[in-house]
Amino acid sequence: MSIVIIRQDDKIELWKEALQRAAPDISIYSYLEEHPADEITMALVWKNPKGTLSQYPNLEYIASSGAGVDFLFEDETTPKNLPITRVVDAMLASDMSEYVLAAIFSYLKRFYQYKINQTKSLWKPEQYRRIADYTVGILGLGALGTALAKDLVRFGFKTQGWSNSRKKIDKVTAFAGKDELAEFLGSSEILACLLPLTNATAGILNKELFNQLPKGAFVINAARGGHLVDVDLIEMLDSGQLSGATLDVFHQEPLSSDHPFWQHEKIHITPHYASVSDTDSVVPQIIENYRRMQHGELLTNLVSTDKGY
Ligand code: NDP
Ligand code: OXD
């Protein structure tokens, strides 16, 4: 029984060392080194190349080293009927919350406009509004959305969230399901998307949705590029229906250098780095699940293969 780590960035050794430190008794391999495929029972993956998982005949369990699992469902070769887990981690959640708060405060204090003014050496005070003036809406009240909602409440924002099932979070107005989406959008002057990417949520950030927001709303997408219809965002920004957008995620990553988002002065881009799994914080839950698998116990942070998240 051993673990293989499959990812295409330069973090394989980082993960391997952290796992090995926490569990010296387990054999852990990079998929790039020679390793006994038939001994592999668990794969720790992040955007693994398509087809890589099907080469392990005795695989029992797949763990995403991030919160998202969309890349596993998008790969038709991902073995069916194996348990899939994802990361649920307090540090990942607080990092995300800090990202969204940074975007909101930059918007509130007009930093985005000042950046534009600076390129023109323009000294011009811009009107600002205050925390109490805004209602922030969060699409997705899961592990990340809930942490963000609580932080927003602590700062004094009027806060509301939308999810599949209705949530109960102190001082947060909770909306649930398609029937309540329009009402939720109607008062979300700042909208943050923290939904998982599934068949039901792909393309949800589109013209129809943006038109239901109050005029001049600000949008933050830190979930997945597939949630956003890019041309609709540009149209809504140019028409003034939206006043700006902060985007961390894109259909194609890295975002190609000729994508119109780069040159749009109302779009603020970060390179899918809002919140990143910290190995020290996350490794204990990975090892815990490996031990559980060995003992035939129920895994934690299981993904629903029916729902896709
Ligand atoms: P969770 O699974 O904990 O939460 C997802 C939330 O979305 C839940 O509240 C769920 O509702 C709701 N939801 C899902 N589908 C629908 C739908 N069709 N209609 C309404 N609500 C829906 O996920 P996390 O909070 O852990 O993570 C969210 C996403 O954030 C990840 O999937 C990933 O894509 C992204 N992410 C991005 C990062 C970055 O750096 N940019 C870092 C980490 C994550 P319910 O609770 O009722 O099931
Ligand atoms: C994640 C991410 O899903 O980093 O964890 O995007």
Structure tokens at 87: 């990361």
Q: Which pLDDT score, from 0 to 100, does residue 249 have?
A: 98
Structure tokens at 97: 């919350």
Bond into 254 cis (ω within 30): yes
Q: How big is the chain, counted in residues?
A: 309
Q: How confident is the model at residue 243 (pLDDT cuts 50, 70, 90)?
A: very high
Instruction: Output the CA 154–ligand 2 centroid distance in Å.
Output: 25
Q: How confident is the model at residue 11 (pLDDT cuts 50, 70, 90)?
A: very high
Q: Can you give the residue range of the structural domain that contains 282?
A: 2-89+277-294
The mean pLDDT value for 268-282 works out to 98
Residues 205, 68 share a domain? no
Residues 66, 135 share a domain? no
Residues 284, 208 share a domain? no
Instruction: Check pLDDT > 90 for residue 156.
Output: yes
Ligand 1 binding site (Cβ under 6 Å of any ligand atom)? 66-68, 92, 96, 140-145, 162-165, 194-198, 200-201, 222-224, 248-249, 272, 274-275, 309
Residues 105, 58 share a domain? no
3-state secondary structure of 149: helix
pTM of the model: 0.98
Instruction: Check pLDDT > 90 for residue 1.
Output: no
Measured between alpha carbons, how far is 109 from 121 in angstroms, rounded to an integer?
A: 18
**pLDDT tens per residue, range 17-68:** 999 999 999 999 999 999 999 999 999 999 999 999 999 999 999 999 999 9
Residues 69, 95 share a domain? no
Is 220 in contact with 242 (CB distance < 8 Å)? Answer: no
Instruction: Output the CA 27–ligand 2 centroid distance in Å.
Output: 26
Residues 192, 100 share a domain? yes
Tell me what the pLDDT averaged over the chain comes to: 98
Show which residues are catalytic: 224, 272
Is 161 in contact with 169 (CB distance < 8 Å)? Answer: yes
**pLDDT tens per residue, range 180-209:** 999 999 999 999 999 999 999 999 999 999
Q: Which pLDDT score, from 0 to 100, does residue 82 have?
A: 97
Angstrom distances, CA of residue 211 to CA of 100, 186, 191, 205, 241: 22, 9, 12, 10, 7
Instruction: Output the CA 215–ligand 2 centroid distance in Å.
Output: 30
Counting ligand 2 atoms within 8 A of each CB, the residue from 99, 275, 279 with the most, and so the one to mutate, is 275
Q: What is the CATH number of the domain that holds 8?
A: 3.40.50.720
**pLDDT tens per residue, range 88-133:** 999 999 999 999 999 999 999 999 999 999 999 999 999 999 999 9
Ligand 2 binding site (Cβ under 6 Å of any ligand atom)? 66-68, 276-277
Measured between alpha carbons, how far is 9 from 3 in angstroms, rounded to an integer?
A: 18
Residue having the nearest C-alpha atom to atom 3 of ligand 1: 142
Angstrom distances, CA of residue 305 to CA of 50, 86, 164, 202: 18, 12, 16, 17
Bond into 284 cis (ω within 30): no
Structure tokens at 159: 């806060």
Instruction: Output the CA 64–ligand 2 centroid distance in Å.
Output: 9
What is the DSSP secondary-structure string of 176-190? ETGGGHHHHHHT-SE
Query: Which ligand has the nearest atom to the CA of 272?
Result: 1
Q: Which pLDDT score, from 0 to 100, does residue 48 have?
A: 97
The mean pLDDT value for 73-79 works out to 96
Residues 244, 98 share a domain? yes
Is residue 281 a part of any domain in this protein? yes
Residues 97, 161 share a domain? yes
3-state secondary structure of 229: coil
Instruction: Check pLDDT > 90 for residue 170.
Output: yes
Residue having the nearest C-alpha atom to atom 2 of ligand 2: 66
Counting the structural domains of the chain, the total is 2
Is residue 304 a part of any domain in this protein? no
Q: Which pLDDT score, from 0 to 100, does residue 205 have?
A: 99
3-state secondary structure of 288: helix
Residues 118, 69 share a domain? no
Residues 138, 55 share a domain? no
Handedness of CA 187, 167, 139, 211 (dihedral sign): negative
